[in-house]
Structure 1
Amino acid sequence: MLKGIIVLLLFQFLGECITKLFSLLVPGPVIGMILLLLFLMIRKSSFKSLDNAVFIHLRYLPMLFIPAAMGIITQVDILQKEFWAILISLVFGTIIALFVSAKLMDILTERRGKNEF
């Protein structure tokens, strides 16, 4: 499991380095997750210690929503003032995300269908 935690921290560190080096607006951990995804796609599998480390972190994932909920509660006045902008952004963002996900699934299932024959 220690190896898995080290791998997670290494990819987060790489993401932070890339963010600082290129002055990106994307947070370093997001870049690190993308790099980890690419690593696992190239490797075509995971390993047990990484799986264990991820499983332990996933058990406590709901606790990360507590600060966001507190932020919503403490910023009610701003949310009321910007309600329509937030609502429109959420609706259009959801529609765009669904469209992109559906298109990606079409591409991947078509590619998989070609590989089976």
Structure 2
Amino acid sequence: MLKGIITLLVFQFLGECIAKLFDLLVPGPVIGMVLLLIFLILRKSSFESLDNAVFIHLKYLPMLFIPAAMGIITQIDIISKEFWAITIALFFGTIIALAFCAKLMDYLTIRQEGKK
């Protein structure tokens, strides 16, 4: 499990370094997750200690929503002023995400059937 936690921390560190080095607006942990995804795709599998480390962290994932909820409560005046802009952005963002996921699923299904 230690190897898995170290792997997660290394990719987060790499993401932070890239974000700071290139002065990106994307947070370092997000870049680290993308790098980890690329690493796992190239490796074509995970390893047991990484799986265990991720499983332990996933148990505590709901706790990460508490700061977001507090942010909504403390910024309610700004949210109420921008209610319609937020609502429209959420609506169209959801529609675009659903359409993209549907097209991606179609593409992957056709690709998988072509391999058989």
TM-score per shorter chain, which class? Answer: over 0.9
Detail structure 1 runs of 4+ shifted over 3 Å in the superposition: none
Aligned AA (1:7): T
Distance, in Å, in 1 between the alignment partners of 2:103 and 2:70 is 35
- Structure 2 match to 1:49: 49
Query: Percent identity over the alignment?
Result: 78
Aligned AA (1:63): M
Gaps of 5+ in 1: none
Taking the TM superposition and a 5 Å limit, the aligned residue runs for 1:96-115 are 96-115=96-115
Local SS of the residue matching 2:41: helix
Query: How far has the Cα of 1:100 moved from its partner?
Result: 1.1
TM-score if structure 2 supplies the norm length? Answer: 0.97
- Structure 1 match to 2:40: 40
Query: How far has the Cα of 1:73 moved from its partner?
Result: 1.1
Task: Give me the CA root mean square deviation.
Answer: 0.7
Taking the TM superposition and a 5 Å limit, the aligned residue runs for 1:19-98 are 19-98=19-98
Query: How far has the Cα of 1:103 moved from its partner?
Result: 1.1
Gaps of 5+ in 2: none
Aligned pair count reads 116
Distance, in Å, in 2 between the alignment partners of 1:105 and 1:28 is 28
Query: How far has the Cα of 1:22 moved from its partner?
Result: 1.4
